């Protein structure tokens, strides 16, 4: 069988992989800021809730988290009389975004805490509220410092999407496994899969690099 004939189903899977990467990376970024800012909150209950969620998702396997959301959560819902079944794409997106959000939360926390104390002292002298200090002082300085780490997390998230094939979602890894089972042609199938992931990772890293440069120029203009 011609190697080129494998590209059509792999391209179909690539579209699913790209969509899943986009959704989970954006949602994971939101979770990262939610958990990261929550960890710095003065409200004890909210702070400890965020800490617990961060440690839970950083301290357990992404595969187990995925299986729990897709297989265990519906059974729990059934016991409670609630329908908690999640479609594969939703379960995959949620597991990936919570996982990347937990790791990203530490990036957010570290970048905000790295803002020089004199900046906060100046904001206090100007009688800024805590919200004004966050949005006008801390985040504009912290976000450029977060982006290199977020770029690494985004690429890692792209690679982690291969796990969703285990719950029946038709991504690239799922399509590759179907082709291999049908043709028993492991070397070309997995070689093409390897090259596709590598190419997508390069494009994603390049896009994140452009974003870093844009934010860096924006910071210099504000300065």
Q: pLDDT of 169-212, one tens digit each? A: 888 999 999 988 888 888 889 899 999 999 999 999 999 888 88
DSSP state for residue 60 in the 8-state scheme = S
Q: Which residue has the tokens 């805590």?
A: 130
Any idea what the CATH number is for the domain that residue 163 is in?
1.10.3720.10
CB atoms closer than 10 angstroms to residue 212: 16
What is the rounded (10 degree) CA torsion for 185, 186, 187, 191? Answer: 110
Q: Please report, for residues 68, 114, 169, 212, 216, the alpha-carbon distance to residue 91 in angstroms, rounded to integers and kept in the order given.
A: 9, 35, 10, 30, 35
List average pLDDT for each run of 10 residues in the chain, which is 223 residues long. Answer: 78 92 95 94 92 95 94 90 90 95 94 87 82 84 89 94 89 90 87 93 92 70 51
- Determine the Cα–Cα distance for residues 95 and 28; give it in Å rounded to an integer: 9
157: containing domain: 3-222
Number of domains composing the chain: 1
DSSP state for residue 171 in the 8-state scheme = S
Report pTM: 0.88
CB atoms closer than 10 angstroms to residue 158: 23
71-79 CB contacts, 8 Å cutoff, 24+ apart: 71/167
């Amino acid at each position: 069988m011609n190697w080129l004939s494998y590209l059509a189903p792999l391209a179909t899977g690539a579209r699913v992989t790209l969509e899943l990467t986009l959704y989970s990376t954006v949602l994971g970024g939101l979770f990262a800021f939610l958990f990261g800012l929550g960890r710095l909150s003065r409200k004890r209950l909210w702070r400890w809730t965020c800490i617990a969620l961060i440690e839970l998702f950083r301290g357990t396997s992404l595969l187990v988290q995925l299986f729990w959301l897709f297989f265990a959560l519906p059974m729990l819902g059934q016991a409670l009389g609630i329908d908690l079944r999640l479609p594969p794409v939703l379960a995959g997106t949620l597991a990936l975004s919570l996982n990347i959000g937990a790791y990203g939360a530490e990036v957010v926390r570290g970048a905000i805490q790295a803002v020089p104390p004199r900046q906060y002292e100046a904001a206090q002298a100007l009688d800024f509220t805590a919200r004004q200090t966050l949005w006008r002082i801390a985040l504009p300085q912290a976000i450029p410092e977060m982006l290199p780490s977020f770029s690494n997390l985004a690429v890692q998230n792209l690679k982690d999407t291969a796990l969703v094939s285990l719950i029946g979602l038709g991504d690239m890894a799922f399509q590759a496994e179907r082709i291999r089972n049908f043709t028993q042609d492991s070397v070309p199938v997995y070689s093409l899969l390897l090259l596709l992931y590598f190419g997508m990772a390069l494009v994603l890293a390049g896009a994140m690099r452009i974003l870093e440069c844009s934010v860096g120029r924006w910071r210099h203009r504000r300065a």
